[in-house]
Amino acid sequence: MTSRTLALLVTAFFAVIVGIVFQQIHTSMHEQGIASGGPYDNAAAYPRAVAIAIAALVLVQLLADFISDRKETMRLPPDAFKRAVGLLVVFAVYLCCLGPLGYHLTTTPMVFAIMFICGARQFGKMLIAALVMSFGFAFVFEKFLNVVLPGGVFRLNIPW
Amino acid sequence: MKLPKSLRTIAATAAIVTMSAGSAIAEFPERTIELIHPWGPGNAMSVSQLIAKAMGEELGVDMPVISTPGAAGTKGQKTAMSRPADGYTVFDGYVAPLVLQPILGNADWTFSDFKPLNAAVSNAFAIGGRVDETRWSNFEEMMEYGRANPGELRYSSGSRNNLPHMVIAKVLQSYGVVAQNIPYTQDGNAVKDLKSGVLDFSFINVGNYIQDKPAFNIMLVLSELPGAKASYDGAPSIADLDIDLGLSGLAPMGWTWWIVHKDTPDDVTEKLRSAMSAAMQRPDVRGAIEKVGFVPLEWDHSQYEEVVGPVLDQLSAMGNALKWEEEELKKLN
Amino acid sequence: MLFESLLAGFQLFLTPLAIGLTFIGILIGLLVGAMPGLGPLMGIILLLPVAIGLPPVAAMGFLIAIFVGGSCGGSISAILLRIPGTPLAAATLFDGYPMAQKGRAADAIGIAISASAIGGLIGGVVLISASPLLAKFASGFAPPEYAMLAITGLFAIAIISGGSLIKGLISGCFGLLLATIGTDEFSTGYRFTFGTHHMLNGFHIVAVVVGLFAISEMVYQVIGNDLLKKPDIKVERPGFGSLLRTLRHWGNLIRSSAIGVFFGALPGAGGVISSFSAYAIAKSAAKEGEKYGEGAEGGVVATESANNATVGGTLVPSLALGIPGDASSAMLLGALLILGFVPGPILFEQEPEFVGGIFLVYMASNVFLLFAGILATPFFVYVLRIPKFYLIPIILILCSIGTFALQASVFDLMVMFGFGLVGILFRAANYPLAPIVIGIILGPILENNLRRALLISREGYWIFLDRPVSATLVCVNVLLVAGALYYACRNRKRFFTKQEV
């Protein structure tokens, strides 16, 4: 991936953000009647100004990226790339399952999977570490900080 | 030889999990009960924490207060409503999300959509100005000044369209005075700007008043209850005005009545009710509440309809005061 | 008045919980500082959810101690591993590592910790004496002043902090925009909430920040090749004799601490700039025979006292005005708001005992730093040997439970993950993340005070020029912009690309 592709990616990100701002001003905020008037009633003027500032700055930056002849190529070893994506996927799946399945059923497998992605292969040690980490944190947060961790559909909560 | 060891650990985990699953059928309450509080931290939240702590002690479990501020309290209400009706979620039913926001058309529930526990606390507001004010010395004179200079007065009710705003707008409307409300995120900053001369008058709650009594000229206590007048050291109240605002009882005040989901099982609700009324009767709890300037309320669940009903009627009747203020301000600009 | 508030603060501070947590905070701070890639900001972010469930003084003691410990911990790994645990310790490398190579690692760590603690205490004296004065001066500030002050803070951060000016401004504006999500206080309308009640109050700042910083950092860590490796380091045991060695450099200590306080109080500057400046000045003022760069004690003294004095300095505008000096103090302000305190003059007026408590926890954490740092160094060495594949899942669990615990909401977890992806994109494209946090904190101050000022005003925008302080700030802002443009024209490269520190 080159720095130029990244610059385009960031520009696209901000284009979407600025687009959302204007779309919301013209639909939702207009319907609520808060897109016009004085400072008491007009909630749109300030976000519009900030969005315009972002758009202008991003354009200047984009221009600069293309004028400058510096073109770095960032190369990530395929292994490292796989690990990064693997971590994100495992974490995303974990967060999605946390609500329906609850903390206690999901956390140990997540920790185990992350260690596996990192390259650890001593399964017994990993399992113990995963159990200690997930139940240890649950104990501290539920016992001392009064947090009710997600129980999921099975309502799995440990009364410490 | 590593696998058997891990298998044993799995078996141990399974045992823990089944144990905890088994206890789910046990008697209510077997875990932490959460109180959803609609405001950010501050006096109101401390008071709720006090009651929740005592109520938790009665029930034998912890009762943390979860602060979910936003949208004049409706965010907290919606969050609480999205939880299961199992008695593990209690709502701190403040008047703004419970009664006022539905009147203003910002919420689609009514107070009778919930099962009441005990009434919790109330707190009265007042309109205050500076002690060194030269343009007027009492409320009537300020109203005269306001009539002579439409749109000149700047005041703050904390946030826009909250209960103090509604009551102040009603008072101003009765006197035919148009003034500009300036919303503030933190009441403390409104009070600071009142002191430094940026605002002409402001809503003052008992907490602000207790903190710095000599700094304020309390011009009007927004409640006709004698207790409220007393917390402001006998300042004039709406009962002393020549005009009738049509507000009585809890209507012009902030208050909260703890409630639960309508589908909460009756035996669970009963347990919560008796724990809360026991907590509310404890002298230590009442003392701590009164120290902050709030008033502990006596009503139990059977009086919910007869107390909250009239509040709804009175607030609905004055709903046009806010609209009136907005339109008059627009005319001036 | 100051004395009274300190006295009242004693009662709040002298509880086993507050003292214990301040001590634990120092240990955690040293730990996150020593671990490469983490640092004080990350420590504050990860433990903020824990702190906000505690009594206020204990909570602030915990977080401030993490800030203090984290600003020092980086030196341990800089000296032993030649990897600064945080950018704050980058300048400590110059002389700290050569000292270690000469077999004086224990001395170097001892001096780094002593200098940090003394620099921190000097910063504390300034904090305690200057912030009440600034708060008193600012008590007459009204919405116009605050609006202008927020703009000054934002400009200063984009201009002074290292990195591309434009990219810094874009990040800052992105933060401002994020702060507009939710219910608008003035119109009471909903902005960018997409009809869901989860967004009625915007994204929770902790969910956003955990995602931006911690999740993206974990992805960057997992890219590295040293996930299973145990670094091979010898256990070092510094002694209290290094305190005396440090005190011999008293001139250097005072000068470097003063530099640290100054850059700390300036919005946008901060520890990295102050430690490099203090090092450069110490080097030029070196006596004959002191060989900077080859293991001179003075080099370590200069950088470490400066970067810890910065902490005291940065708390001055944060507490007295509510305007954060850097991302870490922005998070401390966020914590204060969540705990129900409004930073700024009214905090000093209405909660003097709480302010006194904050002063005390700050001073105490620097004292604890001296003892804990010197006694517990062997422990940190052991921790540095723990391979990363244990560390990454621990931090991921902490992120998830911590974020969930804020409002018991699964939605916050999704927000955290989403901002994790944004954080990765920003890091990859060299956009600084810190201005986003500062933008989120300054956003409501800027917008609300701007609109409040216009509502109060009877002649529109003139209100900003009618009031002397506000008019001065307008001039400062104009000068900042003019200066930045002038600088940009002269030095186009720095304007667009990242400056290598």
Model pLDDT for residues B255-300, shown as the tens digit of each residue: 888 988 888 888 888 888 888 888 888 888 888 888 777 888 888 8
DSSP states of C124-177: HHHHHHHHHHHHHHHTT--HHHHHHHHHHHHHHHHHHSSS-HHHHHHHHHHHHH
Q: Are residues B323 and B178 in the same domain?
A: yes
Report residues of chain C scoring pLDDT below 70: 1, 160-163, 268-269, 491-501
Query: Residue B35 belongs to a domain with what CATH number?
Result: 3.40.190.150
Domain boundary (A14, A43, A67) is at A67
Q: Phi and psi at residue C186, in whole multiples of 5°?
A: -80, -55
pLDDT value for C493: 56
Q: Are residues B246 and B132 in the same domain?
A: yes
Q: Which residue among A1, A145, A148 sits closest to C408, beta carbon to beta carbon?
A: A148
Domain ranges, residue B181: 125-250+318-332
pLDDT value for B301: 84
Query: Residue B185 belongs to a domain with what CATH number?
Result: 3.40.190.10
Q: Are residues B60 and B185 in the same domain?
A: no
Q: Which of residues 95-134 of B touch C (CB under 8 A)?
A: 106
Q: Are residues A61 and A102 in the same domain?
A: no
Disruptive mutation site among B8, B10, B25, B32 for chain A (greatest number of A CBs within 10 Å):
B32
Q: Are residues A89 and A35 in the same domain?
A: no
Q: Are residues A48 and A83 in the same domain?
A: no
Model pLDDT for residues C186-233, shown as the tens digit of each residue: 888 889 989 888 888 889 888 998 899 889 989 988 888 777 777 777
- The answer to whether position C465 is within a domain reads yes
CB contact under 8 A, C425 and A13: yes
pLDDT value for B15: 45
> Least CA distance to C391: which residue of chain A?
A115
Nearest to A115 by CA among C399, C35, C390: C390
Smallest CA–CA separation between B14 and chain A, in Å?
Answer: 10
Q: Which residue among A21, A68, A149 sits closest to C496, beta carbon to beta carbon?
A: A68
Coarse DSSP helix, strand, coil percentages of chain B, rounded to the nearest 5 percent: 50, 15, 30
- The answer to whether position C501 is within a domain reads no
Domain count, chain B: 2
CB contact under 8 A, B31 and A157: yes
C partners (3+ CB pairs within 8 A) are: A, B
- The answer to whether position C392 is within a domain reads yes
Cα separation, B143 vs B127, whole angstroms: 12
- Residue C408 contacts A, CB cutoff 8 Å: yes
Smallest CA–CA separation between C318 and chain B, in Å?
Answer: 16
Which range among B230-234, B243-247, C487-491 shows the weakest confidence by mean pLDDT?
Answer: C487-491
Model pLDDT for residues A20-57, shown as the tens digit of each residue: 999 999 999 999 888 888 888 899 999 999 999 999 99
CB contact under 8 A, A157 and B24: yes
For the cut 50, the answer to whether the pLDDT of residue A144 exceeds it is yes
Q: Are residues B147 and B53 in the same domain?
A: no
pTM value? 0.84
- The answer to whether position B2 is within a domain reads no
Q: How is residue A73 annotated by DSSP? A: B
CB contact under 8 A, C349 and B159: no
How confident is residue B24, by pLDDT bands cut at 50, 70 and 90? very low
Nearest to A83 by CA among A106, A110, A52, A117: A117
> Least CA distance to C146: which residue of chain B?
B189
Smallest CA–CA separation between A110 and chain C, in Å?
Answer: 8
Nearest to A105 by CA among A142, A140, A130: A130
Q: Are residues A60 and A86 in the same domain?
A: no
Cα separation, B199 vs B190, whole angstroms: 8
Based on the number of CB atoms within 10 Å of its own CB, is C341 exposed (0-12), middle (13-18) or buried (19 or more)?
buried
For the cut 50, the answer to whether the pLDDT of residue B19 exceeds it is no
Domain count, chain C: 1
Q: Which residue among C176, C224, C422 sits closest to A50, beta carbon to beta carbon?
A: C176
CB contact under 8 A, C340 and B45: yes
Q: Are residues B34 and B87 in the same domain?
A: yes
How confident is residue A72, by pLDDT bands cut at 50, 70 and 90? low
- Residue B24 contacts A, CB cutoff 8 Å: yes
What are the CA-CA distances from residue C300 to residues C90, C292, C371 (Å)?
Answer: 11, 10, 18
Q: Are residues B109 and B80 in the same domain?
A: yes
**Chain C hits for B160, Cβ within 8 Å:** 185-188
C204 close to C407: Cβ distance less than 8 angstroms: yes
CB contact under 8 A, C187 and A50: no
pLDDT value for B295: 82
Q: Are residues A50 and A86 in the same domain?
A: no
Q: Are residues B97 and B204 in the same domain?
A: no
Model pLDDT for residues B178-225, shown as the tens digit of each residue: 999 999 877 778 888 898 888 999 998 887 888 788 889 999 998 887
CB contact under 8 A, A131 and B329: no
Domain ranges, residue A93: 78-144
Q: Which residue among A51, A84, A133 sits closest to C222, beta carbon to beta carbon?
A: A84
B partners (3+ CB pairs within 8 A) are: A, C
**Chain C hits for A101, Cβ within 8 Å:** none
CB contact under 8 A, A159 and B2: no
pLDDT value for C474: 93
Nearest to B21 by CA among C409, A143, A101, A108: A101
Q: Are residues B322 and B197 in the same domain?
A: yes
- Residue C490 contacts B, CB cutoff 8 Å: no
pLDDT value for C253: 92
Domain count, chain A: 2
Cα separation, C94 vs C73, whole angstroms: 16
What are the CA-CA distances from residue B59 to residues B50, B56, C279 (Å)?
Answer: 14, 5, 61
> Least CA distance to B18: which residue of chain A?
A156
Q: 3-state DSSP call for residue C270?
A: coil
Q: 3-state DSSP call for residue B257?
A: strand
Q: 3-state DSSP call for residue B261?
A: strand
Q: Which of residues 450-479 of C touch A (CB under 8 A)?
A: 450-452, 454-455
Model pLDDT for residues B64-112, shown as the tens digit of each residue: 888 777 777 787 888 888 888 888 888 988 888 888 888 887 788 888 8
For the cut 80, the answer to whether the pLDDT of residue B151 exceeds it is yes
Q: Are residues B82 and B149 in the same domain?
A: no
- The answer to whether position B9 is within a domain reads no
User: Given CA atoms C208, C209, C212, C217 in this order, what sign does their dihedral have?
Assistant: negative
**Chain A hits for B330, Cβ within 8 Å:** 37
Can you tell me the mean pLDDT for A90-100?
Answer: 92
Q: Which residue among B68, B182, B196 sits closest to C407, beta carbon to beta carbon?
A: B68
Q: Which of residues 191-250 of B touch A (CB under 8 A)?
A: none
Q: Are residues A62 and A84 in the same domain?
A: no
Q: Are residues A18 and A52 in the same domain?
A: yes
Smallest CA–CA separation between C7 and chain B, in Å?
Answer: 19
Q: Which residue among C187, C409, C456 sits closest to B182, beta carbon to beta carbon?
A: C456
β-bridge pairing B65-67 and B34-37 = parallel
Please state whether the peptide bond connecting residue B310 to the residue before it is cis, i.e. omega within 30 degrees of 0.
Answer: no
Smallest CA–CA separation between B243 and chain A, in Å?
Answer: 30
B183 close to C452: Cβ distance less than 8 angstroms: yes
pLDDT value for C173: 93
Model pLDDT for residues B44-76, shown as the tens digit of each residue: 888 888 888 888 888 888 888 887 777 777 878
**Chain B hits for C448, Cβ within 8 Å:** 183-185
**Chain A hits for B32, Cβ within 8 Å:** 146, 148
Q: How is residue A86 annotated by DSSP? A: H
CB contact under 8 A, B74 and C142: no
Q: Are residues A127 and A93 in the same domain?
A: yes
> Least CA distance to B327: which residue of chain A?
A41
CB contact under 8 A, A80 and C225: yes
CB contact under 8 A, B2 and A123: yes
User: Given CA atoms B303, B307, B309, B310 in this order, what sign does their dihedral have?
Assistant: positive
